Chain A
Amino acid sequence: MIDLKNLTIEKAHEMMQKKKLTSVELVSACLKNIQEKNKELNIFLEIFDDALEQAKKADEIIKSGKGTKLTGIPIAIKDNMLITGRKTSSASKMLENYTASYDAFVIKKLKEVGAVLIGRTNMDEFAMGSSTENSVYGPVKNPIDPTRVPGGSSGGSAAAVAADMALGALGSDTGSSIRQPASLCGVVGMKPTYGVVSRFGITAMASSLDQVGPIAKTSKDAKIIFDCISGKDEMDSTSVNFLDFKVSPNKKAIGVPRDFLKEGVDPEVLKNFEESLEKLKKIGYAVKDIKMPSLEYSLPVYYIIMPAEVSTNLARLDGMRYGLRKDGIDMFDTFKKSRSAGFGPETRRRMILGAYVLSHGYYDAYYNKAWKLRHVIEKEFASVFKDVDFVVIPTAPTPAFKFGDKKSPLDMYLCDIFTTPANIAGLPAISVPSGFSIKGLPFGFQFNGPIFSDEAVFEIGKKFEEIRDMV
């Protein structure tokens, strides 16, 4: 019997190299787990029927000595990443029957190394939400406590790793969507520097903010996935060759923007955060209070720029070339009927909001001003990174909450308060589990690093994992 709970990608790879485990055995164990628990937890929208086929092929690659670290490892894929010939619905009625005609860059990379794509995971519709309650297929339940949300929007991917249904997963992060669910499910989630991972073949939400990244049990495992999926892609002109830009900070100083942590944070989250800082001090990090007065504008700036981009990106979904079509009396009526039947409430809300902030008369006050502030925030980060290696913030203001707990859209948006700064400034950031609440719910500790310091961010995540159980 495979001990999936304690199995990491690193360990599984070692065992497969030493012929103590095959990919078929590993994938079978995950599939068994999925069959037992998915009905209740609603994590996977589809289990790929060729998962065992893929595993067999991976075993052959390993036998031939050509296996790499991800060969034969079961990876869960968020339902907004295209896989040729497979459905990619973004958990929306609009794309319920959409079949991808090409592979996303990250999928191509995973296929190249013989990773096993085990299935597609549930999410908030078009990646808009922080709880998966916006999925047209119903919410994912948190494996730690099924009466609570797993976070979102990559809630299915984080829960898949937490429930041992896959050893790793891909998520996408526009404002919180990898890190916040990772935090709420007690796993590691990392958002790379903007441009380090190609967005080609990912259903676009807000193009200046979207970034794909790994979810795994450890920072080391997350790094293994990152190494596979990062790199320049000629199909995404914002992607860069990461190796040309790598930055490794080494001042061993950590900055805490205390003024930013004053309001709306659960006292247990703060207590855990302070304890984590003490542990970092013990291993030689200087922990400094820093002033970042513009940080509090990250969330408002985010909720202007993001819906603006959403309203333009989602305009392409008009029921003409693919997706849901509901016939109307003429072309415009068909657009309207198709879009009205296809999009859920949160998606509509953001399109309306986006149309508003971009409209004549409000453009300067909202959109233009938000971009100016985005630069102010970027500059503020650049300036503090002259003195510290990382800026640390809790990942989420509360642990996992109950279904239906967030009564208004704004209540839900406030879940992203600590994660949007990294997207606004394009920084790499990692959420690492940092302990549990009295009720047994996981906390996440978040390191934000300078642009292109992705490797250092994984490195500090790894160090933090080594010391977090210190008393």
Chain B
Amino acid sequence: MDIKDVENLAELAKLDLTEEEKNKLLSDVKEILDYVKVIESVNALDTETVYTIHNVWREDELKHPLFSRNLIINQFPDSQDGYLKVKKIL
């Protein structure tokens, strides 16, 4: 892992990092990866990756919403006429 990797990951995680932060993160993450990579040595070939999950279905019925529309709208960092306002996308 090098500083370029940290920059790419920061791009994926949508974070702006200072040079100092990048260097600190690089050494921290290296230390953590050194520790967790002990799992590489374990033989788990015969273990299937079974995600112990299953679908939970429900009827597609309209239910009375639990949420207060006003409380939600009041959280909008920027709004106009009850609509959420965001920056230009394209």
Interface, chain A (partner B; CB < 8 A)? 84-85, 98-102, 234-235, 237-238, 294, 297, 300-301, 303-304, 311, 315, 318-325, 327-328, 330-337, 339-340, 343, 348-349, 351-356, 359, 365-366, 368-373, 375-376, 408-410, 413
- Those 8 A-B pairs whose CB atoms lie nearest each other, nearest first: A325-B77, A101-B71, A237-B56, A322-B75, A300-B36, A372-B44, A340-B16, A335-B14
Are B6 and A373 neighbours in the complex by a CB distance under 8 Å? Answer: no
- Chain B's interface: helix, strand, loop or mixed, by majority? loop
Are A349 and B87 neighbours in the complex by a CB distance under 8 Å? Answer: no
In the assembled complex, the Cα of A413 lies from the Cα of B34 at a distance in Å of 13
Are B47 and A85 neighbours in the complex by a CB distance under 8 Å? Answer: no
Q: Which residue of B lies closest to A108 (CB)?
A: B66
Are B67 and A102 neighbours in the complex by a CB distance under 8 Å? Answer: yes
Q: Which residue of B lies closest to A302 (CB)?
A: B36
A293 to chain B, nearest CB (A): 9
Chain B contacts of A408 at CB under 8 A? 28, 31
Size bracket, chain B contacts: 35 or more
Given A297-B39, A373-B44, A413-B32, residue A322 in contact with residue B16 (CB < 8 A): no
The verdict on B3 contacting chain A, using a C-beta distance below 8 Å, is: no
In the assembled complex, the Cα of A335 lies from the Cα of B39 at a distance in Å of 34
Given A335-B14, A343-B15, residue A369 in contact with residue B44 (CB < 8 A): yes
In the assembled complex, the Cα of A62 lies from the Cα of B10 at a distance in Å of 55
Contact bitstring B40-71, A, C-beta under 8 A = 1, else 0: 10101001111110001010000000111001
In the assembled complex, the Cα of A80 lies from the Cα of B37 at a distance in Å of 31
Not counting A322-B76, A339-B15, A408-B28, a sample of 20 additional A-B residue pairs whose C-beta atoms are within 8 angstroms of each other reads: A84-B71, A237-B56, A300-B36, A303-B35, A319-B77, A330-B89, A331-B86, A332-B14, A343-B15, A348-B21, A348-B25, A351-B13, A352-B9, A352-B10, A355-B12, A356-B5, A369-B42, A372-B48, A373-B39, A376-B42
Chain B contacts of A337 at CB under 8 A? 16
Are B6 and A410 neighbours in the complex by a CB distance under 8 Å? Answer: no
> Could you show 8 A-B contacts with beta carbons less than 8 Å apart?
A85-B71, A102-B71, A330-B87, A340-B17, A366-B39, A371-B51, A375-B47, A408-B31
In the assembled complex, the Cα of A230 lies from the Cα of B52 at a distance in Å of 22
Contact bitstring B71-90, A, C-beta under 8 A = 1, else 0: 11011111000001011110
B78 to chain A, nearest CB (A): 7
Are A99 and B75 neighbours in the complex by a CB distance under 8 Å? Answer: yes
Are B15 and A369 neighbours in the complex by a CB distance under 8 Å? Answer: no
Chain A contacts of B50 at CB under 8 A? 375
In the assembled complex, the Cα of A388 lies from the Cα of B31 at a distance in Å of 37
Q: Chain A CB within 10 Å — which of B13, B17, B37, B52 has the most?
A: B13
Are B40 and A369 neighbours in the complex by a CB distance under 8 Å? Answer: yes
In the assembled complex, the Cα of A353 lies from the Cα of B25 at a distance in Å of 9
Are A369 and B12 neighbours in the complex by a CB distance under 8 Å? Answer: no
Are A320 and B86 neighbours in the complex by a CB distance under 8 Å? Answer: yes
Given A353-B32, A369-B39, residue A334 in contact with residue B71 (CB < 8 A): no
Given A301-B39, A369-B40, A369-B44, residue A330 in contact with residue B88 (CB < 8 A): yes
Q: Which residue of A lies closest to B70 (CB)?
A: A101
In the assembled complex, the Cα of A337 lies from the Cα of B75 at a distance in Å of 18
Chain B contacts of A334 at CB under 8 A? 86-87
Chain A contacts of B88 at CB under 8 A? 330-331
Q: Which residue of B lies closest to A411 (CB)?
A: B31
Given A349-B28, A352-B29, A375-B50, residue A99 in contact with residue B14 (CB < 8 A): no
Pick the residue among A102, A297, A332, A355 that contacts B42 (CB under 8 A).
A297
Q: Which residue of B lies closest to A343 (CB)?
A: B15
Chain A contacts of B1 at CB under 8 A? 356
Given A101-B75, A348-B25, residue A84 in contact with residue B68 (CB < 8 A): yes
Are A353 and B29 neighbours in the complex by a CB distance under 8 Å? Answer: yes
